[in-house]
Each structure stands twice: as structure tokens, then as C-alpha cells.
Structure 1
Amino acid sequence: MALNGVDISGHQTDATVTEWLPLVDFVIVKATEGKGTTSSAWAPRVALARDAGKLVGHYHYAWPENGGAVDAAHFLTVVGSISGEVAVLDFEPFGQTSPAESWPQYVTDFADTVLKATCREPWLYSEDYHLGVLEQHATPEQLARIRRMPLWKAGNGNAYVASPDVSPGDLHGWAALACWQWTSTPLDRDVFYGTATDWRGEPTPTPKPEEPPVARVTWRGITTDAETALYLTAVAKEVTVMAKAAGVPDWTVTPIPRCGSYQTTTAASAGTHAGGGAVDINAVGLTDRQARVLESAARKCGGTAWFRPALAGVWQKHVHILRSDCTDLAYAARQQVKAYRAGYNGLANNGPDTGNRSWVNVTWAQVKAAANAVVNVGSAVVIDAKVRGIQHALRLTVDGKLGPQTYRAVWRLSLASREQRAGFLKLSDADRKQLQRDIGCKWVDGKWSLVGSEMPGRLRDAVGGVQRVMGIPIDRVWTDSVEGVQFKRLYTAAGFKP
């Protein structure tokens, strides 16, 4: 079920608001801006909507330079008690001077302050560009916190569409939207994916359709479902890639016998193996670094995974893996997925998760779709938008034309991302300096050593920007099997021949 509504500020006339009220289910009104501005239209418009029996929301326009807690305090002072109504952070700081690196902290501070005061998560309103910037600069912990906020997205690809039935596009790691602003004509119109009860409580995003049941298969000696077998094969391949990058020996990924899926006698499993999507991988004989590589590979491919050191008399050294989006997970396994996404270790002690949390919201369906995606050759608009996005991410001349300059910039980036210092040094001096310009280094000297720790971080941010544009789950690491394939499809569709 979906509800229709509008969002308004002081820019609309009273006549327009009065005309639209009978046609909508909800109204979201601008309340405040920055640390001291209050909209004069807020109080009368909210009163009008409440009197008409409409669901109501209130939004605050962000000024990151003030700090999230300061802005939130002003917002809360103005709106007061809004039980049963929605609070929103409108995050689109166009033309503001605060550095983008500070934006994720602003958003998390605003959210924490509002949550503490109202016992309810505020929504985050933004569009593709600023959502991408937040992804690019947030730490894994900040990104996980931001994604707990229900997402109200504006447009698709920084543009509006003709109908709410059109896809909203990239969800930037959220499982689903809470609300979508699909047009600004004749005023901002929105669709809320839930019921009036959801609005007054926690909004429930539109659930994804469940996968049809799949047959049980055997994967390297254990029983699981067919989709999880494909996932585990991808994990095994990713282990090889990540082991090389980490400088540790590769090995064969081997599950523990009788520790696959649909097992009700697996020791110490607490029922997590009773359904599909579950497997324990043997880590006996592996170093802890190797076990962490396996844990990270499983997470990167869209799974919940924890490295479990040996516990005498309980379990051997292993990595516990769940395919997070498996619809046949046992109840206990589903609870573990929730614990993982909330930052816990999935054990009874509810300890902190100590693994790499870069891929907390990535699912296997997303990874598989990205690997299999084909650029729409017939859509010049899609190709132009992707090329422009890549050019913007790499500080190139933005013209939408995929020619030698853009191709070579991506080639430089991919080589240095894959092989780090060794790849960087394979470039000519001119290409090394140009790469440093492309990714925004403070020093442009063609030398890895003099830029110190800046180079790896800048490379990761640049790759993340390209991944966002290409619609690939963002992990800020370039691989030929995913990013390389996608870029080849793009330049082929654009008619460029290297």
C-alpha cells in the first residue's frame, strides 16, 4: 500500500495549499533552517493540515557548518512534541562552504539528537548526488548509522520523472525507500510506501518480493540451497582476490562437514543452520589474517559473516556465514543478520562486531545484479549520465563523451586501486601526476612515498565515486571481474574503441 502527499514551504501560496489538501493523504512542511531560522509558514500550514485530518511531517533544512546537534536542537525547540508525526532532515547543502568530509558526522549527530528526544528515527531527505557524497566520505560506522534513518529520496538520477510508477533508481545501500519525491510539478509530490499506522509509528518500507523456493544442492560436501551455492562460489573466488591484495597465501575454501544448511544437529549453532543460507567454513590451519580475509570476502559478496576463534569444547576455529537475503533462513539466522547490521557479533553476549563493516548493507542479489548488469545500449541518456558521473568523480572535463581522456583516467585509477603502490609505479611519471590530480591529492609529484597515507584513501574515495555512478555496491575497491566488466560494457555502448 502507498499514500500520496506533498511537501511544502513558504514558497507555495495559501490558495495552492488549500487546493491540494483534499487530494492528498499527508503533508510535510518546512519548519526550520540552520541554527536559528524558522519558517513563518510552518505553524499555519501545519494547523491547516491537522485540521483537515492529514498525516503531518516536519522538515529541517541542513546547514552542516553549524553541527548536527546544534541544528537539531533548534528544530526540536520549534516543533515541540510531534508524537505520531514525522521528523525529517532535508540534506542538500548546495553552495555551502562546509567540507564534504564533515557531512556524515553532521547527519549522524542530527539523527542521534532527534532520536533521543523523540524516541523515533528522523527521515533523511536527499537526492542522488548528495547521497553519493555521503557514501563517499562516511566511515563504515557512520554509513551504517545513516542507513538506519528511513530514506526519503528526491527524483531519480538528480531528475524528476513522469509517474510514481517509474523506478526511483539507486537506493544507495538502503533496502527500500520510506518515501519518494517523484515530481516538482505543479508542486513537490510524494509517495509514502506504508500505511497511516506506519506513518504514526516507524515507517515500513515496501518489502521486496520473496525469492521462489529453490532446490537443495551439495556444495563441497555440505547441503545448502542452490542460490547459496552460487554465493559461496563467488565468495571462494573473492577470497583469491582479497588474499593477494592482503599479501597472504591463497587456500581452498572448505566447509566443515555437517555444518551446512538444513542441519538441526549442528553443535552450538542455536538453530541458525536449521534453514537455508547457512554454512560454517573451516579455518583450522589458517592464520587469523586469512580467516579475516574469508570473513571480509563473505561480507563483500552480500553475506553476514563472523570469524570465530576456537572455543575449547564448543567449536573449532571457523567462519560462520549466512547469505543475508536468503528467504529460507531459520528464525535464529534472521536474528543474526539483524545483529550483524546493528553492529553486534551474533552471539548471546551481544558483543561488538570486530570485522570490516564496509559491506553491511550489501546483499547477494545486488552483487549478482551488478556482475550481470548490461548497460542499455539504446539509451543515450543512461550512457551520458554515467559518463558525466565518472568525469565528475575524477575531476575531468564533464561533457558526457567517453573518449581517450576518460578511458585513460579510469585505466590509471583501476591499475593503482588493484595493485596499490606497485600499480602506481607502473604508470609513467606524467600518468602518475595526472592520477594524483584526478583523485584530488594535495601533492602532485608523481611519487607514492611523498604523499604518505593520503594516496590509498584518495584512491578508495575515487573508486567509490565511480561505483556509485555505475550502480555497483560501494566497497571502494576496483576488481576486473565487476568494475572492469561494467566499464567495458559502458565504453562499448558509448562506441569507444581503446
Structure 2
Amino acid sequence: MTTSRGIDVSAYQGPQDWAKHKRDGVAFAFVKASEGQHSRDSRYATHITGAKAAGLIVGSYHFAWPNQSAASEAENYIAAVRSHAGPGYVHWLDLERYSDGRNYKGRSASQIKAWVAAWIAAVERAFPGQRVGVYTSASDLASGHVPSGVPLWYPAYPGSAVDSYPEAEKRARPRPSGRAPEFWQFVGSPLDRSVCYMSAAELRTWAGGGTPTRPKYEPFPGASWFTMGRKSPIVAAMHDRLVAVGCNRYQSSKNKDVIGSGDKASYEAWQRECGYSGAAAKWPPGPTTWTKLQVPNV
């Protein structure tokens, strides 16, 4: 599966060697900017300036208090980031309940959802064409706190089994409440780390308001079709998608419109990525993995 790597920081983290992060393969960084109606993060300007200078894809987040004014909180955030935000900047609402519930106190699920929608709308008006999403937990999603269609950054920590980027990249994409987050924060110590389910190039396009280019969708032609070494644009589309999701077992790209051993090995790697094993992961493709390959969010 194609991914890119990132971190997020706040005043709790000291000065960062952003150039080293970039050399180590980090593609994006999100920085805390504000909280509530008045609070600002003391290291926001330092962190965001360094991340931008290193050439990372950047954005920032605001910690939400849904029992306060959505308009005032949006104004606080907008004022904090205005001098740094621009094309390709990503804005996040950090929607998390404090352990004692003080920032959710007195609010119903529907009221929190309406508050989230109002905050997002205000930030979208302030920064036309820039992405605005929500960082939130499985419990908030299950409670219906997040409007549909909003980009998601999802925190969930499997523990020592997944505490590195390679381990996270091997895992299936999380699907809390049936939704497919664009970002998964998989570890919170010693530094918050996330993977994005786009390549760095795709993420940069997405962050700039565009739609990442992907090979054309090809409907499943039936399992028997793949047993006949056909020459077809369908095979070329399959080849391109397998490369895009990182299941590339090709020795070369010659004759990529003809089914060959590289196609079979690559597709079997994709079926294992989808959770199949043994005979179930063997060639030929099945309709479920084919559609998931062609339309990654299904």
C-alpha cells in the first residue's frame, strides 16, 4: 500500500532537526497552533517555520472545546496560523475528550457534531481551497461527532507490535466506524508518528486541493479471464495500480499489457496485503481485492 511518513509536534516537544527528519524519510509535519478560545501554542511559530524550511508538507491543529463558542475558537486558530498558512497547508481540528470530560461537558453528540461543522466551515471560509479535516478517536466517530465526508486523521496505538513506520505500513488501513482515514497516528512516544495513505507526491497534490492522479478504474472481468495470457489495457491498469500501492514484484516494465510472472507475484503480494493467506492469496484475482485495488477507499 502506498504511504508517506509524518510527525506532529507541540510545545511539549523541544527544537527539532527538521532537515534530519526530511533525510530520514519524513514527508509531512503537523504542528499544534491553538486551543480553546484564547490559548496559543508557544512553539508553533518555531516548529512550523522549521518544517516549512525543510520542504515538508505542513499543517497545524487546534485542540477543541466543543462546550465553548465554535466561532471564537475558529477565530483563535485562524489568527494563530494566518501568517504561515498558504497553498498546500492542511488544517486540523483536534477533537478529543479530556479524561475528565471538561471540554465536552454539557454537550450532546448532535451538538458536538454541529459545533465541529461550524468550526470547519469558518476555517474553510478563512482559507479557501485549503484542506480542513478532523483528528479524532474511534469513540468520537462511533458517537457521531464528525460529519461525513471530512478528511480524517485517526489515532490508534497497537503497542509494541506497531511502533515503527515499516510495521505500520504492513498493517491494513484502519476503518473505524466503516470510515477510511487519510492518516493513521500509530504511536505517540517518544514522538507522535503517522502514516498517510498517499505517496508524498499524491499527498502534496491533495494538500494543494487537487485530486491525486490514479490509473483508470477497470471493472472485474471474471477470474477465468486471468488464466488466458491476454494482451489488454486491463493488464496495464492492473500493473500501474500494483506499483502505486507498493506491491511491485516486477523485474522490468516490458510488455506490461501482457500477463506475466511479475503480475502474478505482485497481485499475490496485494492479496496478502488485503489479509488473505495460503491458497486464498494465490493468483488469479478475485472481485473483492480487484475492486479494492482499483478504488482504494472501498
What range describes the TM-score normalised by the shorter chain of this pair? Answer: 0.5 to 0.7
Residue equivalent to 1:180: 184
CA contact (8 A) 1:160 1:184 kept: no
AA aligned to 1:123 is G
Residue equivalent to 2:37: 35
Residue pairs, 1:10-159, within 5 angstroms: 10-15=11-16, 20-23=21-24, 24-80=26-82, 82-83=85-86, 84-94=88-98, 95-96=101-102, 97-101=105-109, 102-119=111-128, 120-133=130-143, 135=144, 146-155=147-156
Distance 2:159 2:97 in 1: 14
What SS does the aligned partner of 2:93 have? strand
CA contact (8 A) 1:157 1:169 kept: no
Change (3 A) 1:121 1:184: same
Distance 1:205 1:126 in 2: 28
- For residues 36-92 of structure 1, what are the alpha-carbon distances to aligned partners after superposition, in whole Å with 9 as ceiling and x for unaligned? 001010001111111111111110010111132221111011111512210000100
Distance 1:6 1:86 in 2: 14
What SS does the aligned partner of 1:65 have? coil
**Deviation, structure 1 residue 29:** 0.3
Distance 1:62 1:46 in 2: 20
Change (3 A) 1:43 1:105: same
Residue equivalent to 2:205: 197
- For residues 326-371 of structure 1, what are the alpha-carbon distances to aligned partners after superposition, in whole Å with 9 as ceiling and x for unaligned? x7xxxxxxxxxxxxxxxxxxxxxxxxxxxxxxxxxxx9x8xxxxxx
- For residues 397-436 of structure 1, what are the alpha-carbon distances to aligned partners after superposition, in whole Å with 9 as ceiling and x for unaligned? xxxxxxxxxxxxxxxxxxxxxxxxxxxxxxxxxxxxxxxx
CA contact (8 A) 2:120 2:132 kept: yes
AA aligned to 1:72 is A
AA aligned to 2:37 is K
CA contact (8 A) 1:181 1:191 kept: yes
Distance 1:131 1:198 in 2: 23
**Structure with a larger share of its residues in helix:** 1
For these two proteins, the number of residue pairs brought into alignment is: 208
Residue pairs, 1:369-408, within 5 angstroms: none
Specify the structure having the higher radius of gyration (Cα).
Answer: 1
Distance 2:5 2:222 in 1: 37
Of structures 1 and 2, the one scoring higher in RCO (CA 8 A, sep 6+) is 2
Distance 2:212 2:176 in 1: 15
CA contact (8 A) 1:156 1:168 kept: no
AA aligned to 2:113 is P
Instruction: Please give the TM-score of this superposition, normalised by the length of structure 2.
Output: 0.61
What SS does the aligned partner of 1:12 have? coil
Residue pairs, 1:72-471, within 5 angstroms: 72-80=74-82, 82-83=85-86, 84-94=88-98, 95-96=101-102, 97-101=105-109, 102-119=111-128, 120-133=130-143, 135=144, 146-155=147-156, 161-162=162-163, 163-164=167-168, 165-174=170-179, 176-194=180-198, 195=202, 196-202=204-210, 212-213=220-221
CA contact (8 A) 1:147 1:173 kept: no
CA contact (8 A) 1:62 1:91 kept: yes
What SS does the aligned partner of 1:64 have? coil
**Deviation, structure 1 residue 121:** 4.0
What SS does the aligned partner of 1:57 have? strand
After superposition, the CA RMSD in angstroms is 3.2
Instruction: Please give the TM-score of this superposition, normalised by the length of structure 1.
Output: 0.38
Change (3 A) 1:173 1:117: farther
CA contact (8 A) 2:158 2:186 kept: no
Distance 1:88 1:159 in 2: 27
AA aligned to 2:3 is A
CA contact (8 A) 1:111 1:122 kept: yes
Change (3 A) 1:149 1:116: same
